[in-house]
Amino acid sequence: MLNISLAAVSGINLETRELTLELGETEMIEATVFPDNAVNKNIKWSSTFPSVASVYKASETEAVVSAVNPGTAIIIAATEEGNYVATCRVTVNQPYTPVTGISLSRTTLTLLEGGRPTVLTAEITPGTATNQNIIWESSNKSIASVHKQTVDSGVVAPLKAGTAIITATTEDGEYVAVCTVTVLPVEDED
């Protein structure tokens, strides 16, 4: 005589507890219902923020998670019998967009020694690049100095007569744009 024992559900486990997806990606996650011989292995899937990560049942024990918007959501797998719960934290990231270039508002500047500083504006291509950081440098800090003012601008100060090259370098990709600064001496008035 064959003896088959039919068991009640005693728990649930998700093989994936944390998931990081880029916008638009999907990933399959799998649950295990305990014990193996449980009669009712049905799972109800839900998301705390379906607008960030949605979930739908793919098979008896699997579900597909879709990255909808940047943010964080918790995917919940609950057994129909006993309401045992397991969760998976899903982080949805904006896709990485690399820098492809940089340009400056001016390629040459003529300033007066000790005169007013001038703002140089940099434009990173594409405008949607993930890393917009720019490193500003002067080839001769005693002639013209440069300091970061905002994300996309640097302030050039004319210190003494001479020529200096101001470089704006993207942190991502190390693309370079240059501006030649000529500092003219102030004429002495007798």
For the whole model, what pTM was predicted? Answer: 0.61
Place of tokens 């995917």: 75
Quick: pLDDT tens for 3-20: 556 789 999 999 999 999
Per-residue pLDDT reduced to its tens digit, 137-188? 999 999 999 999 999 999 999 999 999 999 999 999 999 999 999 999 988 6
Q: Where in the chain is the domain with CATH 2.60.40.1080?
A: 11-93, 101-184
Architecture of domain 11-93: Sandwich (2.60)
Answer whether CATH 2.60.40.1080 is correct for domain 101-184. Answer: yes
- Cα 96 from Cα 145, distance rounded (Å): 33
The phi and psi torsions of 120 (rounded to 5 degrees) equal -105, 135
